[in-house]
Amino acid sequence: MITTSDTVTLDSGHRMPLVGFGTWQVGRKAVAIAAAAGYRSFDTAAMYANEKQVGDGFRDAGLTPDDVFLTSKVWRSDMGYQSTLRSYAASCRNLGVDALDLFLIHWPHSDDRVMIETWRAMEHLLEQGDVESIGVSNFSESDLDLLAAHSNVVPAVNQIELNPLRPHTTLRGENQRRGIVTTAWSPLGQGGPLLACPELTSIASQHGVSEAQVVLRWMLQKQIVAIPRSSNPQRIAQNIDLDGFELTDAQIARIDSLAR
């Protein structure tokens, strides 16, 4: 049975935990609670303006950088060759680490030239051994095509907004075809209508778990990396407590059918 301790191997050869902690609008205390609850992967971004809190948070729980998988992202206004290199150095400094496990382009840029220059800087960081893996976020198929036309380095990850209502089946298949691991941001639909779906409530009650746990278990069994976020200690713990039940094929199919 697949568990929350399992990892996925990225195109770079490095391994990434299948469940991580999303930190948008999340502070030091929640990161420390998450680290104590067992999360070993933390996803931040320059734009979140909380990299320092994330670094302090996992250390508060007694973890060192070697214990965790750290992701950050270059923001749109910092894209371009030199400014991407500067952004990477600032992220490392803020997190208090020598290198990140994964560095992403946060959003595609409307100017192709800026996109390509940014990816060249990311490739440089990879070649120098300054970062373990590089990837993208919120990229469409055509954005991936643009990089592929100018580079032989395939993004290790494409992090997209994904949940059972918006499963992005086509883009997920396209990522897979290219050797790109899909990561789901806001896997819980930002706590909105998704978690009120009666189908999820029914499956949740059969297993004695919450709707959120059903959604996250669905991702785990599909080997989609998920980075749920919460500032509530009970929900932080619940979101990584996924190993005590397994969804049947029929339940997975019912959740698949929620796609709009």
Residues near ligand A2P (CB under 6 A) are: 22, 186-191, 195, 210, 212, 228-232, 235, 238-239
CA–CA gap between residue 70 and residue 100 (Å, rounded): 6
Minimum distance between the CB of residue 62 and ligand A2P, rounded to whole angstroms? 23
3 C-beta neighbours (distance < 10 Å), count: 12
Q: How far is the CA of 210 from the CAs of 162, 215, 216, in angstroms?
A: 19, 9, 10
Choice between 77 and 205, CB closer to ligand A2P: 205
User: CB–CB of 55/92 below 8 Å?
Assistant: no
Q: How far is the CA of 248 from the CAs of 66, 93, 98, 141, 220, in angstroms?
A: 36, 45, 43, 31, 13
Minimum distance between the CB of residue 225 and ligand A2P, rounded to whole angstroms? 13
Buried/exposed 81-114: b ≥16 CB within 10 Å, e otherwise = bebbbebbeebbebbebebbbbbbbbbbbeeeeb
Minimum distance between the CB of residue 200 and ligand A2P, rounded to whole angstroms? 11
Active site positions, annotated = 48
User: CB–CB of 227/183 below 8 Å?
Assistant: yes
Choice between 144 and 216, CB closer to ligand A2P: 216
Choice between 138 and 231, CB closer to ligand A2P: 231
Choice between 87 and 210, CB closer to ligand A2P: 210
Q: What are phi and psi of 165, to 5 degrees?
A: -75, -25
Choice between 19 and 85, CB closer to ligand A2P: 19
Minimum distance between the CB of residue 227 and ligand A2P, rounded to whole angstroms? 7
Minimum distance between the CB of residue 169 and ligand A2P, rounded to whole angstroms? 19
